[in-house]
Amino acid sequence: MIAIEAVAADVATSAVCRSVGISRASFYRRRQPAGPSTPRRPRAPSPRALVLAERQAVLDTLHSDRFVDQSPAEVHATLLEEQTYLCSPRTMYRVLAGADEVRERRDQARHPAYTKPELVATGPNQVWSWDITKLKGPVKYVYFSLYVILDLFSRYVVGWMVAVNESARLAERLIEQTCAKQGITPHQLTIHADRGAPMRSKLVALLFSDLGIDASHSRPRVSNDNPFSESQFRTFKYRPEFPDRFGSLEHARGVSHDLFVWYNDEHHHSGLSYLTPADVHSGRAATILEVRHRTRLAAYAAHPERFVKGPPRQEALPEAVWINPPAIPTRQDAPGTTIVSPDDPQHGVIGGPPPIVGVQSIGVVNSG
| Tens of each residue's pLDDT in the chain, 368 residues | 777 777 766 677 788 888 888 888 887 887 776 667 777 777 777 888 899 999 999 999 999 999 998 999 999 999 999 999 999 999 999 999 999 998 876 777 777 888 899 999 999 999 999 999 999 999 999 999 999 999 999 999 999 999 999 999 999 999 999 999 999 999 999 999 999 999 999 999 999 999 999 999 999 988 889 999 999 999 999 999 999 999 999 999 999 999 999 999 999 999 999 999 999 999 999 999 999 999 999 999 999 999 999 999 999 998 999 999 987 645 554 444 444 444 444 443 333 333 333 333 334 443 33
Q: Are 273 and 296 a contacting pair, CB within 8 Å?
A: no
77 and 204 in a single domain? The answer is no
Shared domain for 83 and 126, answered yes or no, is: no
Question: Is 114 part of a structural domain of the chain?
Answer: no
Question: Considering only CA atoms, which of 355, 354, 349, 324 is closest in space to residue 337?
Answer: 349
* 45 occurs within a structural domain: no
- Does residue 298 lie within any of the structural domains? yes
Q: Looking at the structure, do residues 233 and 283 belong to the same domain, yes or no?
A: yes
Domain shared by 86 and 131, yes or no: no
Is 103 contained in some domain?
no
One domain for residues 90 and 165: no
The Cα–Cα gap between 282 and 288 comes to 12
Distance CA 326, CA 119 (A): 10
| Alpha-carbon distance values, 187 to 180, 215, 216, 241, 290 (Å) | 14, 11, 14, 39, 33
Task: Please give the residue range of the domain that contains residue 57.
Answer: 53-98
Residues 75 and 209 in one domain: no
Does any domain span residue 309? yes
The pTM (predicted TM-score) of the whole model is: 0.64
Number of domains in the chain: 3
Q: Is residue 73 part of a domain?
A: yes
* Any domain includes 78: yes
Q: 3-state DSSP call for residue 160? A: strand
Flag whether 108 is in a domain.
no
- Do 191 and 208 meet the contact criterion of CB atoms below 8 Å apart? yes
Which residue type is seen at 38? T
Do 223 and 269 have their domain in common? yes
